[in-house]
Structure 1
Amino acid sequence: MTLSPQVAAGPRHPPEHPAQRRVLAVLVASQLVSGIGLTAGVVVGSLIAEEMLGSTGLAGLPTALFTGGSMLGALGIGRLCQAWGRRPGLGLGYAVGALGSVGVVVAVAADQVALLLPALLVYGAGTATNLLARYAGADLAAPERRGRDVSRVLLASTAGAVAGPNLVSLVGGPAEEWGLSRTAAPFVLAAVGYAVAAVVVGALLRPDPLRSARARGPVATAEPAEAAGKAGAAGTAEAVEAARDPVRTPGVATGLWIMVLGQLPKVALMAMIPVHLAANGHGTAAIGLVVSLHIGAMFLPSPLSGLLVDRWGPLPVAAVAGVTLAAAALLVGLAPGDSVPLVAAALLLAGVGWNLGLVGGTAVVTAAAPPGRGAATQGLADVGLSVAGCTGGLLSGPVMAAGGYGTLAVGCALVALLVTPVALWAARPSRAAAAGGPASAPGAARRR
């Protein structure tokens, strides 16, 4: 198999920056606290909607709204990072997420649906920031360690994300004493977590990883026109087109489809699991436990996923992700609703599958992003991720109301299974280099 020019010539980026360890430490610290906010909407969003709107069919609306807010947040934060760096982009994103969390608490306290809906939209910016932070972990990383450094940032979200749902019972009592509904407690935690993360990033993320990467990597950070000129006469048109519309770049499109086809079914499954469990007689404690286990499985495998991506390439890892997520969806659909252990086991597997797809897709997008458009392209990719989540949230309620949770799970399995042929098609020898697949991965170069 012929290696891509980049692999044959060796990595085009300098080795790991001396500030990379400090950058990772700050990102990990911010993710530890912001992870608390990541699960608030998942744990009680559908329950709040069912209570305030009086309809199971509309119970998926909060998920659709905060994932829609995540879409807008990803677009805005990506552009802000592109223009000014990671520190102002991530810091503002966390601050906006905190503001939205406060808005949800006020809306629930006042029983105002008109305030709840836009507040959920604004809250979604925190979710977008939490995910976009993973790209900052790769800015100064050595090429052969990108997957593992991205995974470290993702892993840091686990502690807060797992702890968040289980802190609801502790915060619920004081919340009721303050005149708030117990269901608003997770959003109180989210407001605190996102606010602290905004302060940590704003005060400590120095040097800015993206600006530092630009300063030391002129080839990687050239403006689109300059990059096109360097590509030679034969590739000028293609380079300019990729810079103008990066999503059409083969590797970016492949990574985007991998993440989208994993995100949609995962969100749909999770959006309705609180309603599904509540309908089978389980309370918020059981629901919180299942959701926290699922969130843990979404992020805890990150080191292994990153290692596999660095060693074998992102496309084979993504192919495994599709099969894993589809199997999990079928399992949760077949599991009796009154069996918390079986439901939890299925959602653990779903979290693992999603993680493999996210880390693999992120690696593909990062490697294939046009020169000078890295942060903006990453933001666009996460817009697609949010659109998929929004779609999953919107469809989950009506599908479950019409056919039950089992029907929803089967549909999710079919969508998730599409990840595998997409990854395998892109991994073909003729397409692997363009898609950031095994032929262009650092690990692949060593194997060959």
Structure 2
Amino acid sequence: MGRVNNIEQIQRRTVRILALGQVLGGFGLGSVLSIGSLLARDLSGTEAWAGAAATFSTLGAATWAIPLSRLAYARGRRASLATGAAFAISGAILVIESAHIRFFPLLLLGIFLLGAGSATSLQARFAATDIPIEGKTGRSIGLVVWATTIGAVTGPNLFGPGDALGKFLGLPAMTGPFLFTVAAQIGSTLVFWFGLKPDPLKFAQELQKTTNSVKPKISLKSAFATLRENPLARYAVISIALSHMVMVSVMSMTPVHMQDMGYDLVVVGFTISLHIAGMYALSPVMGFLADKLGKIRMIFVGQLTYLTALGIAGFGSENRWLVTLGLFLLGLGWSASTVSGSALLTSVLPPNEKTNVQGLSDSMMNLSGALGGGLAGTILSLVAFGGLNTFALVPVLTVLTLTTIALVRTSAQKVIAAK
């Protein structure tokens, strides 16, 4: 009993440290995708390249996900998370410099490096489940995701003050908010490096050695092999990836659409803040419901929320308040789908395969987001914001179909097992 209590105490402390790191790391999320898209349009001179900010941010996160997961396996979560946040610092500095010298490729490189911060944030949610506590997988993930709310919601509302600070310091327009990103990521690096003691993954590996001598797998080949052999893990990865594609494609183009409607950065920041609140604020509730009602059912709920969000934002594309409501619901749909999908993935994987497949999942999630963000700018320029929301229905309907199949299969398996 004493050993169990000690494990639970270490887990609670780990979640608190991860949450604090997420609070700080969250400050950079809104700036990258929203201000980044405006900078991309400004430096490139065309609206079609506005989606490049989301593309390179998510492409960066996808690229960093697997190396960071391998670093976690070799050196622990502490080294991996601190390294990812440190790379994000350099990315924010390059973004500011790119605007100063007006060099679009440097902006893309900076945003690509900032993607390491996104990869770190995603890995942190899995780090919350390294130390296994029965029946609390969804809640642990939900709490860490929720912690992002403070920084992520506050961040976009600092667009105005950040821009004013940037002007005071003589920085180019729209780069001031990235000063807050630099400061926040420095704090996040320090929290992860000095706070994650004992390292949760190393601690879990030590626990595993006492009960399981199977050597952990660490390669892309073995990760794909696991997905081929595990239908639920494969479904979870696909659901997370496509859900992220929907969110990135619509959210990244909203600032461009609203600026075209004549709204300033303060209004845009308010809209993005509500969207991000939808993504993170209720994530503990989503995690609790995933544990209680079922993870697959909650993914289904998330996709239904997406349908509602796309309908409101699409049909109300010329109304600021309807766009804002649609973006808030888009965030809720992402929360339900991502928290539940992540909890499902963790729960159906053997301990020796978790870190490897989690890294692949984060990479596929961000590649899907990069594809969505890349296409979004072109779609927006061709068929406007309403058309973009219509195109986003395709991945939603795909996940709904896969979820229905998964629900039928799991129900049938329960019936067979009960006989």
Category of TM-score, reference length = shorter chain: over 0.9
Distance 1:112 1:244, change over 3 A: closer
Distance 1:287 1:216, change over 3 A: same
Give the Cα separation in 2 of the matches to 1:194 and 1:375.
24
- Deviation of 1:370 after TM superposition, in Å, equals 3.8
Given that residues 221 and 371 in structure 1 are in contact (C-alpha distance below 8 angstroms), is that contact kept between their aligned partners in structure 2? Answer: no
SS of residue paired to 2:181: helix
Indicate which of 92, 117, 131 corresponds to 2:122.
131
The 10-residue stretch of structure 1 (392-401 or 211-220) with the greater mean CA deviation from structure 2: 211-220
Deviations 1:20-58 (A, max 9, x none): 111111111111111001111122111101111110111
Deviations 1:305-353 (A, max 9, x none): 111111122101111111111221121011142x222111111111000
SS of residue paired to 1:373: helix
Deviations 1:132-170 (A, max 9, x none): 100111112412011101100000000000000111211
Indicate which of 214, 218, 221 corresponds to 1:222.
214
- Deviation of 1:418 after TM superposition, in Å, equals 2.0
SS of residue paired to 2:284: helix
Deviations 1:253-282 (A, max 9, x none): 111111112111111101110111011111
The 10-residue stretch of structure 1 (309-318 or 166-175) with the greater mean CA deviation from structure 2: 166-175
In the other structure, the counterpart of 2:379 is 399
Letter in 2 for 1:386: N
Letter in 1 for 2:36: G
Distance 1:108 1:410, change over 3 A: same
Indicate which of 374, 377, 384 corresponds to 2:354.
374
Give the Cα separation in 1 of the matches to 2:253 and 2:50.
8
What pairs up with 1:106-121 in 2 under 5 angstroms? 106-121=97-112
Given that residues 295 and 343 in structure 2 are in contact (C-alpha distance below 8 angstroms), is that contact kept between their aligned partners in structure 1? Answer: yes
SS of residue paired to 2:67: helix
Given that residues 223 and 360 in structure 2 are in contact (C-alpha distance below 8 angstroms), is that contact kept between their aligned partners in structure 1? Answer: no
Given that residues 139 and 213 in structure 1 are in contact (C-alpha distance below 8 angstroms), is that contact kept between their aligned partners in structure 2? Answer: yes
Letter in 2 for 1:44: I
Give the Cα separation in 2 of the matches to 1:432 and 1:420.
18
Given that residues 314 and 385 in structure 2 are in contact (C-alpha distance below 8 angstroms), is that contact kept between their aligned partners in structure 1? Answer: yes
Give the Cα separation in 1 of the matches to 2:407 and 2:70.
30
- Deviation of 1:63 after TM superposition, in Å, equals 0.8
- Deviation of 1:243 after TM superposition, in Å, equals 6.2
Given that residues 33 and 57 in structure 2 are in contact (C-alpha distance below 8 angstroms), is that contact kept between their aligned partners in structure 1? Answer: no
Indicate which of 252, 262, 267 corresponds to 2:233.
252
Give the Cα separation in 2 of the matches to 1:262 and 1:414.
11
SS of residue paired to 2:175: helix
Give the Cα separation in 1 of the matches to 2:362 and 2:332.
19
- TM-score, length-normalised on structure 1? 0.87
Q: Residue 97 in 1 paired to residue 88 in 2?
A: yes
Distance 1:242 1:50, change over 3 A: closer
What pairs up with 1:138-287 in 2 under 5 angstroms? 138-218=129-209, 219=211, 222-223=214-215, 245-248=225-228, 249-287=230-268
Give the Cα separation in 2 of the matches to 1:75 and 1:243.
11
Deviations 1:268-299 (A, max 9, x none): 10111011101111111110000011001000
- Deviation of 1:174 after TM superposition, in Å, equals 2.0
Given that residues 223 and 357 in structure 2 are in contact (C-alpha distance below 8 angstroms), is that contact kept between their aligned partners in structure 1? Answer: no
Give the Cα separation in 2 of the matches to 1:406 and 1:430.
37
- Deviation of 1:119 after TM superposition, in Å, equals 1.3
Give the Cα separation in 2 of the matches to 1:128 and 1:305.
21
Give the Cα separation in 1 of the matches to 2:38 and 2:332.
25
Given that residues 298 and 355 in structure 1 are in contact (C-alpha distance below 8 angstroms), is that contact kept between their aligned partners in structure 2? Answer: yes
Given that residues 49 and 61 in structure 1 are in contact (C-alpha distance below 8 angstroms), is that contact kept between their aligned partners in structure 2? Answer: yes
Give the Cα separation in 2 of the matches to 1:340 and 1:428.
40
Deviations 1:356-396 (A, max 9, x none): 00011101211222441211211110001001110011000
Give the Cα separation in 1 of the matches to 2:231 and 2:411.
8
Q: Residue 18 in 1 paired to residue 9 in 2?
A: yes
Letter in 1 for 2:257: H
Distance 1:375 1:277, change over 3 A: same
Aligned alpha-carbon RMSD (Å): 2.2
Taking every aligned residue pair, what percent have the same amino acid on both sides?
30
Given that residues 286 and 340 in structure 1 are in contact (C-alpha distance below 8 angstroms), is that contact kept between their aligned partners in structure 2? Answer: no
Paired residues, number: 409
- Deviation of 1:128 after TM superposition, in Å, equals 1.0
Distance 1:220 1:340, change over 3 A: farther
In the other structure, the counterpart of 2:314 is 333
What pairs up with 1:71-90 in 2 under 5 angstroms? 71-90=62-81
Give the Cα separation in 2 of the matches to 1:367 and 1:418.
23
- Deviation of 1:109 after TM superposition, in Å, equals 1.6
SS of residue paired to 1:182: coil
In the other structure, the counterpart of 2:31 is 40
- Deviation of 1:414 after TM superposition, in Å, equals 2.9
Distance 1:183 1:429, change over 3 A: same
Distance 1:244 1:318, change over 3 A: closer
Gaps of 5+ in 2: none
In the other structure, the counterpart of 1:8 is none
Distance 1:281 1:137, change over 3 A: same
Letter in 1 for 2:355: A
Given that residues 51 and 252 in structure 2 are in contact (C-alpha distance below 8 angstroms), is that contact kept between their aligned partners in structure 1? Answer: yes
Give the Cα separation in 1 of the matches to 2:314 and 2:223.
43
The 10-residue stretch of structure 1 (266-275 or 321-330) with the greater mean CA deviation from structure 2: 321-330
Give the Cα separation in 1 of the matches to 2:185 and 2:170.
23
Given that residues 98 and 191 in structure 1 are in contact (C-alpha distance below 8 angstroms), is that contact kept between their aligned partners in structure 2? Answer: yes
Distance 1:34 1:385, change over 3 A: same
Letter in 1 for 2:53: P
Q: Residue 416 in 1 paired to residue 396 in 2?
A: yes
Distance 1:64 1:179, change over 3 A: same
